[in-house]
Structure 1
Amino acid sequence: HINEQAVMLSIDPSKDADGFHPYNMGQLLIGNEGFVPCTPKGVLRALEEYGVEIQGKHAVIVGHSNVVGKPMAAILMNRNATVSVCHVYTDNLKKFTSDADILIVATGVKHLIKADMVKEGAVIFDVGITEEDGKVYGDVDFDNVVEKASLITPVPGGVGPMTISILMQHVLMGARNAN
């Protein structure tokens, strides 16, 4: 059994390309964004590139992991979004998702989010991934939701490339910090 906490603590925070060291997570919570987990930072980069207004918007995150959900919530709160964090066990999930201006889903549950759970014009980032019978699916029922969304990422090929791009930037930052 590998002790994740021990592994995290063994990494120099100034070289933490994944952004998971407790120091870096704490920095994120107080608004200092250095090494931020790559997937949430990739989502932020996409929001910025597409000119999506964050301030004052209701962002709903479905999934509360340390990898995506929690850091994504902090990033959006740092930009003055009103953030609701839900998960697969949230009672009446539809109540939250159907009110979201920005919906970020990261549960690993195939097609958890259906068209009737989405607000018209919502911006949707599908971070979840499930493999079934050799096919890859997202957490959002893309084919039925795409018409309601103003912006939606596919699975595969949506958030994944942004994650890798951010990871490469962080590796370069870590290398510079080493010198």
Structure 2
Amino acid sequence: MEEMTTTPRVLDGVAIAAEIKAEVGTEVQQLVARGVVPGLAVILVGEVPASQIYVRSKVKTCGELGIYSEMLTPPESITTDEMLALVAALNAREDIDGILIQLPLPKHVDTKRLLEAVSPDKDVDGFHPVNAGRLQSGQPGLTPCTPAGIIEILKRSKLPITGQNAVIVGRSDIVGKPAAMMLLNESATVTVCHSKTRDLPKFTREADLLVAAIGRPGYVTVEMVKPGATLIDVGINRVTDAAEVENFFPGDAVRAATFAKRGSVVVGDIHPAAFARSGAYTPVPGGVGALTIAMLMHNTVKAAKLRRGISTGKS
């Protein structure tokens, strides 16, 4: 067993995301030299302020890296059939390599049907069942951005994956399940836990690598962590209760000031006190979340290459 380091290593997602974006920018220049401009279409339905912010940053990053982007903003009243027609039109366009449907969609729209209507070769979110199957069988395809970001953080930080006991808390189709498959593909020994797991701490305390993606603030406590483990915190939870803020960040003047100003602070799925027990961890914010847009850009370029039979190298 590895010795516990005195000071845990902070895994800087912002710096790693910047590295990936720089690499993608270089790949875009190489494609443009061959007459190929990668293109991303983002569909944003209705007026959801949080979604608008996310989409703007995606479009802005495309511009910075030389990727063509188009933002489609149908009204909230759009029907499933109208959305399906919009997706079909984008599937048919040669200049669009990636299609992203910003979630959540209005309740009356059939999200599952829409995500499955996107051509698997343009599914830059990696949610289509065909891409899930490709991931499971180890074939080239597009993989979900957040789990792919987790693998990049581990590899670029030179942290071991092969042979490690990896425990994932959370089994969503977006993070938990694909992260389990990617870690398995990297030869980790993987256990997937969830809200119905009996004696969850028994499993988490065995984890050399612990991925928390259950969407509950501070769910993984210090007692649940093996000393020296690598902690990957996928959670982004807004805490709006003063007592909870004090529980998560006792004596933290910076967080207290943020809470006083905004009325909320962000906390992950791992209790901040648990990080001190780790060997390395991703902070919240500034950890896994920072990788999502970088991996979306990576996927858009990868889709452009795969669609044209251009080698994608190690990716």
1:101 CA displacement: 0.4
Does the 8 A contact of 1:8 with 1:22 survive in 2? no
1:175 CA displacement: 3.8
Q: Give yes or no for the alignment of 1:108 onto 2:238.
A: no
Question: Percent same amino acid at aligned positions?
Answer: 43
Does the 8 A contact of 1:15 with 1:173 survive in 2? no
Q: Name the SS for the 2:171 alignment partner.
A: coil
Does the 8 A contact of 2:125 with 2:296 survive in 1? yes
Q: Name the SS for the 2:298 alignment partner.
A: helix
Q: TM-score, normalised by structure 2?
A: 0.55
Which of these residues, 117, 124, 128, is aligned with residue 21 of structure 1?
128
Does the 8 A contact of 1:17 with 1:35 survive in 2? yes
Q: TM-score, normalised by structure 1?
A: 0.94
- Root-mean-square deviation (CA), in Å? 1.3
Q: Where do residues 6-85 of structure 1 align in structure 2 (5 Å cutoff)?
A: 6-85=113-192
Does the 8 A contact of 1:100 with 1:119 survive in 2? yes
Does the 8 A contact of 1:15 with 1:177 survive in 2? no
Q: Name the SS for the 2:166 alignment partner.
A: strand
In 2, Cα distance between the equivalents of 1:62 and 1:33? 26
Unaligned segments of structure 1, at least 5 residues: none
In 2, Cα distance between the equivalents of 1:58 and 1:176? 34
Match of 2:299 in 1: 170
1:157 CA displacement: 1.3
Match of 1:139 in 2: 269
In 2, Cα distance between the equivalents of 1:150 and 1:122? 5
Match of 1:86 in 2: 193
In 2, Cα distance between the equivalents of 1:33 and 1:97? 31
Structure of larger gyration radius = 2
Q: Give yes or no for the alignment of 1:150 onto 2:150.
A: no
In 1, Cα distance between the equivalents of 2:109 and 2:149? 28
1:178 CA displacement: 5.5
Match of 2:111 in 1: 4
In 2, Cα distance between the equivalents of 1:25 and 1:155? 28
Following superposition, which runs of at least 4 residues in structure 1 exceed 4 angstroms of deviation?
Answer: 176-179
1:82 CA displacement: 0.8
Identify which range, 34-43 or 82-91, moves more after superposition.
Answer: 82-91
Q: Name the SS for the 1:59 alignment partner.
A: strand
